[in-house]
Amino acid sequence: MASDVRTRRSTWLTAITSVSVVAVVVASLAIILDDPEIPVEPRVVEGVTSSETVETPSTATISQSVAGLERLEGVLRPSGEADEWSLGGLEIDVGPVPWMRSTIAEADIDKNGEVTSIYEELRGVSGERVEIWVRFDNTRDDAELFAIEQTFLRDPNTPQPPWADGGFDE
């Protein structure tokens, strides 16, 4: 009789263990097979918003996509160096000052009625809230400016910056 009790107890323990193992396996599969992709909303970092959509530059065809650019909004301010600006604390690299001063913008970015050099157009929107398109460096602590207020300053699909062949110092 004692062996019957042990056999029944052993059978129950085996059954409970088996059911527990099956439950753990099913739960693990449910977690593994669940879609890990989560939609991510634009985030605000020190007054700067970011999103993944981007318009193509005027030199590109309508069907051409521009990979790696991010849209930011914030107040643009000059930084200590003439070729660098900041937007909400993020360092924005534009290009060498001689290039900025000698290159005429494609549009009147500062809306003063006159299309001038990239440098002067940027000075005209200094301290104002603007929309820019940038490409971040690997550390994401600074970014290169490609467009501002729907005007491209350089082609994001060209591997070399426009000043690379012009003898401008970076």
pLDDT in tens, 85-99: 999 888 899 999 899
Residue 53 pLDDT grade (very low, low, confident, very high; cuts 50, 70, 90): low
Cα angle vertex 71, ends 65, 72, to 5°?
Answer: 165
- Residue 64 token pair: 């051409």
* Confidence at residue 34, expressed as pLDDT on a 0 to 100 scale: 64
93 Cβ neighbours under 8 A, 6+ residues apart: 83, 84, 142, 143, 144, 145
Average pLDDT taken over every residue of the chain: 79
pLDDT in tens, 39-48: 666 655 555 5
Q: Is 52 left (phi over 0), alpha (psi -120 to 50) or beta?
A: alpha
Average pLDDT over residues 43-72: 56
